[in-house]
Chains A and B, each alone.
Chain A
Amino acid sequence: MKRTAKHILSVLALTALLASCEKDNMPGPDAQVYGKIIDKANGALVETELVNGARIEAFELGYPTQVSQVWVIKNNGEYRNNLVFSNKYDFQLRNSNFFPQSLLGYQIKPGENQLDFQVTPYLRIKNPQVTYDAATKKVNASFTLEGGDATVRLAQVRLYAFSDIYVGENVKFNITGTSIQTFANVAVPTTTVTLSMDIAANATLFPAGRDYFFRIGALASVPNVGTIRHNFAPYVKITL
């Protein structure tokens, strides 16, 4: 009897709770924003990474306190946000892998909006070559570097490897040795840089017969720009 009473009570309570759930009548996000982060010097996409990579800070205007929304950028330098409220926005592009810039009071219309950003990356990785040498069981990388402007200096270059396309500084096999070179913020070298990764010495990370993804990354050192994130070359798929 007591149990039944309890059941009835809980059903009543649930009914009361559910009854109070009403869909609000506010309009939902009505705009979609997409675009590219483009190197203004050569029109190439500025590569980054999903995890802790370059980002767009968006501030929707019209509220007493602006709170930042962080829009992530895909590894290849494109982005898309399908749930945006049409309104005026401030955009701050900073703490990324290109020189900071802002776009203030930009009107996002209902529906699709294409918004590309023309930027200057801290570092450009030119002529990237990543090849597997089956004889030595090494993956070799070579490239040249170019600074975005004269203030840019170099902190690190690295060849990354991982088992999927999201390879980068924050998604990688933990391999050091000749695949990484760290500098004390030196001038960006004009000569070709080479890196190599010993596959044989890290055999447990590379079971044979699968695809692996290799990517060259470089970290700049630039004064007064906040967090500096890596610049990357496009990944290269190699079957080992």
Chain B
Amino acid sequence: MKKLTISLSILAVVALGSCKKYLDVQPLDRVPADQLLLDPNGVKVLLANLYSRMPVEDFKYNPGQGFNYHRTTSQSNYVEPGFGTTYFTDEATLSQGSGVGPVGEGYWGYDGIRQTNQLLEQIPSVTTLTEAQKTALKGECRFIRAYMYFQMAKRYGGLPIIEKSLVYEPGTDNADLFIPRSTEKQTWDWILSELEEASKTMQPSYTAAEGPYRATKWAALALKSRAALFAASLAKYWSRAPLVGDAVTQKLVGGFTSSDADAYYQQCIDASTSVITNSGKALYRPTPANRAEAVTNYQTIFQNPTAADVEVIFKKGYVDGSTTFLQGHNNDLYYNPSQTNTGNIYFGRSSPTVELVDLYEDYTDNGVGASVPLVTRTDGNENDFVGDPRNVDVNKPFRQYDNTTDIFANKDARMHASIITPGSRWKNVTIVMQGGMIKQDGSKVVYTNDFALGKDGKTYWSFGASSNSGSSGYSGFFGIGGNSANNYPISGFSQKKFVQESVTVPAPYFSSTLDFIDMRLAEMYLNYAEAAVESGKGSTATAAQYINALRRRAGHTDNIPATLANVLKERRVELAFEYHRYWDLVRRREMHTKYVTARRTVLIPMIDLRPATPKYIFVRANNFYDEVAGGRTFLQRDYYRPIPGVATNKLVQNPEF
């Protein structure tokens, strides 16, 4: 009876509804724009959509595919790992091998820009917001739009700048739709001025619930600092990798002068200073009592960002993607070593290079601030990287260690907080990453698990344990060069930053909800320091104060001068795995000279059974997959990506495409 009533009433509604303007029916599965804008929460819905479309290079950015990447049409489908630009650089390689840049051209963000323009145009007609709220909201939209343009400008150079939603007129030639590219300089200038204007009207803070997830004026200025440093570096170093072609003649790429560089560096200094002095942000626990505390503090920032909100300017949150479709990320699954894997078929995927580990300071180097390579040899030759470690000469003067941990003992706290090293403790398990063995007779086993007796009568395994699964097994080197097992770091190291030690994340895909920190105060310090040192503007003393503040937080008690080398090194170690490195190499035009059939490097801990008590040696070697590929090359043209669809959008193509 009840059903009948309902059916009848639905029929009545439908029947009556169709009495007038039969063809003007509003779709029933979506809310019309004017209705949505009547409600302040409706505006929030639109805004949330724009935030979700922001091209943040986070855990879900896949350089080959694009932003917010989920390769699935249903939750059970095959999922391709996301992985960021870290693996296109000297910071790390994937355990299954990975190339070196360029990122794919998978971001042509004009759909998001159009939606932002539409909201910007609708804001004035929203009756439920105060004028002040409208102004703040407009600023927020302009920030989001500038963010989208920034990500495109990094990839394509000069862009068509579209500040209103364009209308397609059927039956005309639509000449107005074909907006040509602005010059690269105009594009950067526009992005910087948009961020400046946005920051003037955006709110300085939000409620605790929204916190740094919502962009404040400080986020706009922090992005301005980042973008200005990018533009300044381009202006200064573009000629390191010059290009020719129509796009260059028309200054759609390049075309900067040295005074442009100075002006951009100044903008970077101003924006950074404004954030540092006015935002109320501070370094999280800046003065640890000892190194152990420094390790804990620094690690906390990345595995519990809420605790470190004092330092965080802008971050991205996630909800569990195993229960909510298209949400969540996989960092905890992909990067936990085998011994702490919770059951996903992907794990142990990250292999940080020994080049990065070498870069960190040693606490015994007081006053110099130089990187200190790990000591693997007694003759001091730390530049001897063997191509194929299966051919290593075991009689070279390797330094023998009693265990696999002493070699790292004095390294910077940030190294211990960012990287899992062989023999270190992780989730209350001693992580075993060992790649080979020298038997009593001097024969060697490398990249294969085998066992042999030591002179002490005990049995030892070349991979450090007999099993490749479980907490008592091993975590490294298994299946190297094979097709199936890519879950074992091949470099002797595994990534710790942005992986949660205190939280156990279950096995289903997209179960990770750890926040991604997009902007934090430390980057402002480093942006300021680099701009000051590069341009001679600002204050070198302040620059030194900033980099030493970061070092003090890492447990260093000495001060180092703000030289360019120190500032760049500090940037690499402080911001490692935060997806800055690739763009730092690009904006400073260092990729194409660093990568000409070049190999990234690894460290292979091996047990030596020749002494009475087994010892450990560490063999420096080339990354297996880089070696197999004949090295990695980054072409000069790849600093810019090809503009998509030039045959139809009539834009000028970038050089050499």
B-binding residues in A (CB < 8 A):
52, 64-65, 67-68, 92, 94-95, 100, 169-172, 174, 204-205, 223-227
Q: How close is B444's CB to chain A, nearest CB, in angstroms? A: 14
Q: Are B391 and A204 in contact (CB-based, < 8 A)?
A: yes
Question: Is B656's CB within 8 Å of the partner chain A?
Answer: yes
B-chain residues with CB within 8 Å of residue A204 when the two chains form the complex: 387-388, 391
Please list the 7 inter-chain residue pairs (A to B) with the smallest Cβ-Cβ separation, ordered nearest first.
Answer: A226-B244, A227-B636, A204-B391, A65-B647, A226-B243, A94-B244, A95-B656
Question: Is B44's CB within 8 Å of the partner chain A?
Answer: no
Which residues of chain B from 582 to 638 have any CB-CB distance to chain A below 8 Å in the complex? 596-597, 599, 622, 627, 630-631, 633, 635-637
Q: A67-B647, A68-B657, A204-B387 are in contact. Are A169 and B599 (CB under 8 A)?
A: no
B-chain residues with CB within 8 Å of residue A223 when the two chains form the complex: 242
Q: Are A170 and B656 in contact (CB-based, < 8 A)?
A: no
Question: Please, what's the 1-or-0 string for B386-397, where 1 marks a CB less than 8 Å from any CB in chain A?
Answer: 011001000000
A-chain residues with CB within 8 Å of residue B124 when the two chains form the complex: none
Interface of B is mostly: loop
Q: Are B596 and A226 in contact (CB-based, < 8 A)?
A: no
Residue of A nearest to B243 (CB): A226
- Between A and B, 10 residue pairs with Cβ closer than 8 Å are A65-B650, A67-B646, A95-B244, A100-B244, A169-B597, A170-B596, A170-B597, A174-B387, A204-B388, A224-B242
Q: A169-B596, A204-B388 are in contact. Are A226 and B633 (CB under 8 A)?
A: no
Question: Is B655's CB within 8 Å of the partner chain A?
Answer: yes
Q: Are A68 and B653 in contact (CB-based, < 8 A)?
A: yes
Q: How long is the Cα–Cα vector from A227 to B650 in the complex, in angstroms?
A: 25
Partner of A174, one of B599, B637, B653, B656: B599
Partner of A170, one of B242, B248, B633, B636: B633
Q: How long is the Cα–Cα vector from A172 to B597 in the complex, in angstroms?
A: 8
Question: Is B280's CB within 8 Å of the partner chain A?
Answer: no
Q: How close is A94's CB to chain B, nearest CB, in angstroms? A: 5
Q: How long is the Cα–Cα vector from A174 to B636 in the complex, in angstroms?
A: 21
A-binding residues in B (CB < 8 A):
241-245, 248, 387-388, 391, 596-597, 599, 622, 627, 630-631, 633, 635-637, 646-647, 650, 653, 655-657
Q: How long is the Cα–Cα vector from A95 to B243 in the complex, in angstroms?
A: 8
Q: Are A225 and B657 in contact (CB-based, < 8 A)?
A: no
B-chain residues with CB within 8 Å of residue A226 when the two chains form the complex: 242-245, 248, 636, 655-656
B-chain residues with CB within 8 Å of residue A224 when the two chains form the complex: 242, 244
Residue of B nearest to A169 (CB): B596
Q: Are A227 and B637 in contact (CB-based, < 8 A)?
A: yes
Q: How close is A208's CB to chain B, nearest CB, in angstroms? A: 15
Q: How long is the Cα–Cα vector from A199 to B102 in the complex, in angstroms?
A: 34
Q: How long is the Cα–Cα vector from A52 to B653 in the complex, in angstroms?
A: 20
Q: How long is the Cα–Cα vector from A169 to B597 in the complex, in angstroms?
A: 8
Q: A68-B653, A68-B657 are in contact. Are A94 and B635 (CB under 8 A)?
A: no
Residue of B nearest to A92 (CB): B245
Q: A65-B650, A68-B657 are in contact. Are A171 and B245 (CB under 8 A)?
A: no
Q: How long is the Cα–Cα vector from A95 to B247 in the complex, in angstroms?
A: 14
A-chain residues with CB within 8 Å of residue B656 when the two chains form the complex: 95, 226-227
Q: Are A94 and B245 in contact (CB-based, < 8 A)?
A: yes
Q: How long is the Cα–Cα vector from A224 to B243 in the complex, in angstroms?
A: 8
Q: A52-B635, A68-B657, A204-B391 are in contact. Are A171 and B630 (CB under 8 A)?
A: yes
Q: Are B622 and A174 in contact (CB-based, < 8 A)?
A: yes
B-chain residues with CB within 8 Å of residue A225 when the two chains form the complex: 242, 244
B-chain residues with CB within 8 Å of residue A174 when the two chains form the complex: 387, 597, 599, 622, 627, 630-631
Q: How close is A177's CB to chain B, nearest CB, in angstroms? A: 11
Q: How close is B417's CB to chain A, nearest CB, in angstroms? A: 33
Residue of A nearest to B635 (CB): A52
Q: Are A52 and B633 in contact (CB-based, < 8 A)?
A: yes
Q: How long is the Cα–Cα vector from A205 to B391 in the complex, in angstroms?
A: 10
A-chain residues with CB within 8 Å of residue B655 when the two chains form the complex: 95, 226
Best-buried of A65, A67, A68 by chain B (most CB within 10 Å): A65
Residue of A nearest to B241 (CB): A227
Q: How long is the Cα–Cα vector from A205 to B627 in the complex, in angstroms?
A: 12
B-chain residues with CB within 8 Å of residue A100 when the two chains form the complex: 244
Q: How long is the Cα–Cα vector from A204 to B622 in the complex, in angstroms?
A: 14
Best-buried of A169, A225, A226 by chain B (most CB within 10 Å): A226
Q: How long is the Cα–Cα vector from A174 to B656 in the complex, in angstroms?
A: 27
Q: Are B635 and A65 in contact (CB-based, < 8 A)?
A: no
Q: How close is A93's CB to chain B, nearest CB, in angstroms? A: 11
Q: Are B387 and A205 in contact (CB-based, < 8 A)?
A: yes
Residue of B nearest to A227 (CB): B636
Q: How long is the Cα–Cα vector from A67 to B599 in the complex, in angstroms?
A: 34
Q: How close is A224's CB to chain B, nearest CB, in angstroms? A: 6
A-chain residues with CB within 8 Å of residue B244 when the two chains form the complex: 94-95, 100, 224-226
Q: Are B391 and A227 in contact (CB-based, < 8 A)?
A: no
Partner of A227, one of B243, B388, B597, B627: B243
A-chain residues with CB within 8 Å of residue B242 when the two chains form the complex: 223-226
Q: How close is A17's CB to chain B, nearest CB, in angstroms? A: 22
Q: Are B387 and A65 in contact (CB-based, < 8 A)?
A: no
Q: How long is the Cα–Cα vector from A171 to B633 in the complex, in angstroms?
A: 11
Given contacts A65-B650, A92-B245, A227-B637, 18 further A-B contacts (CB under 8 A): A52-B635, A64-B650, A67-B653, A68-B653, A94-B245, A95-B244, A95-B655, A95-B656, A170-B597, A171-B630, A174-B387, A174-B630, A204-B388, A225-B242, A226-B243, A226-B656, A227-B241, A227-B636
Residue of A nearest to B239 (CB): A223
B-chain residues with CB within 8 Å of residue A65 when the two chains form the complex: 646-647, 650
